[in-house]
Amino acid sequence: MSEATMTRSPATVGYAPWIIHRATAVLLVILLAIHVGVQVFGITVFYEAGVYQPLLDLTLLAVFTHGFLGVRATLLETTWGRTTKRLAVWALGILFLAIVAIRLIG
Ligand code: HEM
Ligand code: HEM
């Protein structure tokens, strides 16, 4: 088996989605470390500073953005027709946006 690790080309998925996918991945490393630190290891400093809820909201946003871009990239790699792909990506995007909006605003 080859030792090469392949990631997607920005030319395939679009440059902005490519950057945002990776930026949210890096952000998630930090946010999930904080989240698990608080929930599992009982770190209280974020509660005391009053920033835990905003950080949790940001985690929700980052998870859904990153997840959307990952599923979008996978959909773009299918053999589906152009219109079907566009419809599927838009449907997914609207669904994810609705979930995040209802959770954060509602
Ligand atoms: C052992 C691991 C985990 C534990 C014990 C845990 C526990 C919790 C708890 C208790 C809450 C509610 C916090 C509150 O409302 O004050 C929460 C919220 C949340 N968790 Fe986790 N979690 C874990 C792992 C994860 C992972 C791996 C992710 C992301 C991939 C994640 C994403 C979130 C998000 C986005 C929220 C906010 C949900 C919302 O506002 O509706 N958690 N978690
Ligand atoms: C520390 C946290 C995370 C890091 C560092 C990370 C990093 C990455 C990277 C580098 C990629 C590959 C992008 C590409 O080749 O185009 C990826 C893909 C993906 N990620 Fe994450 N990710 C994390 C958490 C998550 C979470 C919590 C979810 C779920 C919401 C998620 C869902 C996905 C999906 C669906 C893909 C596409 C998978 C595929 O096509 O095989 N990731 N992630």
Predicted confidence (pLDDT) at residue 2 exceeds the cutoff of 90: no
Whether 5 is in a domain gets the answer no
Ligand 2 pocket, residue 71 CB under 6 Å: yes
How sure is the predictor about 87, in pLDDT bands with cuts at 50, 70 and 90?
Answer: very high
Domain extent, residue 57, equals 14-105
Q: Rounded distance, CA 24 to CA 83, Å? A: 28
In the chain, the N- to C-terminal Cα span, in Å, equals 49
- Residue 6 falls within a domain, yes or no? no
The residue contributing the CA closest to ligand 2 atom 3 is 25
* Predicted local distance difference test score (pLDDT) of residue 54: 96
Give pTM, 2 decimals.
0.94
Taking residues 10-22, what's their average pLDDT?
Answer: 96
Please work out whether the CB of residue 21 comes within 6 Å of at least one atom of ligand 2: yes
Question: Is 9 within the bounds of a domain?
Answer: no
Number of domains in the chain: 1
**Is residue 1 very low, low, confident or very high in pLDDT (cuts 50, 70, 90)?**
low
- In this prediction, residues 9-31 reach a mean pLDDT of 97
